Amino acid sequence: MTWVARRLAERQPGVDVERVARLCRHHDLNRWPFAHNSELGRFDQAGNTRVFTKSLLDARLSDEDFADLEGVHHKRIDELSPEGRIVLGADAITGVVEDPLLLVTGLNVRPDFIPDPVSRALGFTLRAEPWRGRARRLAKEFHGSGTPDPLAFRAEFARLFRDLMGQVLEREARPERLLDLASSVKTRFIRPHVFPINNDLVCRSSWIRGEVMPRYLARFGDVDLVLVDEDDFVRRAVRIGAAASPADFRPRIDAIREQQPDLCFVGGRAAAERARAAAGVSRRPRFTPVPRLATR
């Protein structure tokens, strides 16, 4: 997000670029408590901005900084300073570009899962070259190598993200319009289609919210979540018996290949054949038409 915000700030005369970067960093502080909406009804991220910011960094932020941070959390763009508006626009558009890209490359969902209207709204499609080829190489290296390299994945993912975001910002760089675009894509696609895969199927957020969090909060209290990092949270959850082991919290990166092979971007045909074999379904004859995945 900070990279996107800097790009936007550098295009607008009179904007304090370093203040934009500072707001970005503080907006991103300690995102773990809010990753799966575990704070709903328990902790107000916007209303307690001063609590979690000062607890973590003892930050010397101005009243204007805190007002902007609260406004960004609430998405009240009309109440923000020019720097705050840029941060809100950057945060919103980053998510709706990053999430589909991660869906395809990191979670191994085929690009045609992304509807054409969403691709047109964003101004790029992962179904066409050169983006499809780059996304496929990245997905194949991560899911087809047998020994994925997370650091290499992150580096190439960042390069691909920045190239795609560059296209988006060439078409539109006004924070207000970026917020509108992001809100539309999130409502039409991200929330109903990406979140169930990423949050529930891969990251088990329903289990975290429904089983882990009630026991954790009963033991440690609400505000504890803004004082610990993810590793501390996992250790504490295991210690009180809310989870059997740290492995329970690891994302199930192969969930699509194992549970929904028809959605696979790479390795889908082999996964589907294994699933059919396990179910006792005979293999298709050689003259059967090519599966849809290969024709899209």
Peptide bond into 150 cis (omega under 30): no
pLDDT at position 37 is 58
pLDDT at position 155 is 96
pLDDT at position 211 is 93
CA 75 to chain centroid = 18
Mean pLDDT per 10-residue run, the chain (296 residues)?
A: 95 94 81 57 68 60 88 93 97 96 97 97 96 97 86 96 96 96 97 94 90 91 74 94 95 94 85 59 36 28
Cβ atoms of 111 and 127 within 8 Å: the answer is yes
pTM above 0.85, yes or no: no
pLDDT at position 40 is 64
Both tokens assigned to 92: 């919103």
pLDDT at position 53 is 62
| Reduced 3-state DSSP string for the chain | CHHHHHHHHHCCCCCCHHHHHHHHHHHCCCCHHHCCCCCCCCCCCCCCHHHHHHHHHCCCCCHHHHHHHHHHHHCCHHHCCHHHHHHHHHHHHHHHHHHHHHHHHCCCECHHHCCHHHHHHHCCCCCCCCHHHHHHHHHHHHHCCCCCCHHHHHHHHHHHHHHHHHHHHHHCCCHHHHHHHHHHHHHHHHHHHHHHHHHHHHCCHHHHHHHHHHHHHHHHCCHHHHCCCHHHHHHHHHHCCCCCCHHHHCCCCCHHHHHCHHHECCCHHHHHHHHHHHCCCCCCCCCCCCCHHHHC
pLDDT at position 142 is 92
pLDDT at position 25 is 86
Cβ atoms of 167 and 123 within 8 Å: the answer is yes
pLDDT at position 221 is 80
Q: b or e along 177-198 (b: 16 or more beta carbons within 10 Å of the residue's beta carbon)?
A: ebbebbeebbeebbeebbbebb
Domain ranges (residues) in the chain: 2-202
pLDDT at position 161 is 98
